[in-house]
Amino acid sequence: MDINKILVSILCFCLASNLYAEQDAKKFNSNTLTLKTALEKAVTSNPSLLALMKQEEKNEGLVKQAKVVPSPSLIIGAEDFAGNGEYKKTSSMKSTIGLSQTIETAGKRKKRIRIANSTKTTEMLKVEIAKKEMKLKVASSFFKLYQLEKELEIQKESIELARQNSDSVNKKVAAGELAQIDSTRAYVEFTREETLKKHLELDIISLKNEIATLLGEKTFEYKGISINAESFIKEELSAPESINIEGLPELALAKAELKLAESEYNMTKTERVSDIELTVNYSKYRATSDHAFAVEASVPLTRNSVKGKMQSAQAEVEAAKLYIDSVNSEISAKIYTAFHEKESLTKEVRNLESMLLPSAKESYEQIQTAFNSGEKSLLDLFDAKKSLLETELLHLELQCKLFNAISEYAILTGQI
Sign of the Cα torsion 393, 398, 399, 403 reads positive
Angle at 392 between CA 387 and CA 393, to 5 degrees: 95
Is 12 found in the same domain as 120? no
Is 88 inside a domain boundary? no
Model confidence, pTM: 0.80
Domain boundaries, position 144: 31-69+104-271+306-412
**pLDDT tens column, 248-283:** 999 999 999 999 999 999 999 888 888 889 999 998
Q: Please tell me the distance from the alpha carbon of residue 411 to that of residue 18, in angstroms, as a whole number.
A: 40
Torsion-angle region of residue 203: left (phi > 0), alpha (psi -120 to 50) or beta?
A: alpha
Is 26 found in the same domain as 59? no
**pLDDT tens column, 44-65:** 999 999 998 888 888 888 889 8
Is 229 inside a domain boundary? yes
CATH number at residue 116: 1.20.1600.10
**pLDDT tens column, 207-256:** 999 999 999 999 999 988 888 877 777 778 899 999 999 889 999 999 99
Is 288 inside a domain boundary? no
Is 186 inside a domain boundary? yes
Burial grade of 143 (CB within 10 A; 0-12, 13-18, 19 or more): buried
Is 59 inside a domain boundary? yes
Is 38 found in the same domain as 25? no
Is 291 inside a domain boundary? no
Helical (H) or strand (E) element with 100: strand 94-103
Q: What is the pLDDT of residue 29?
A: 46
Is 109 found in the same domain as 230? yes
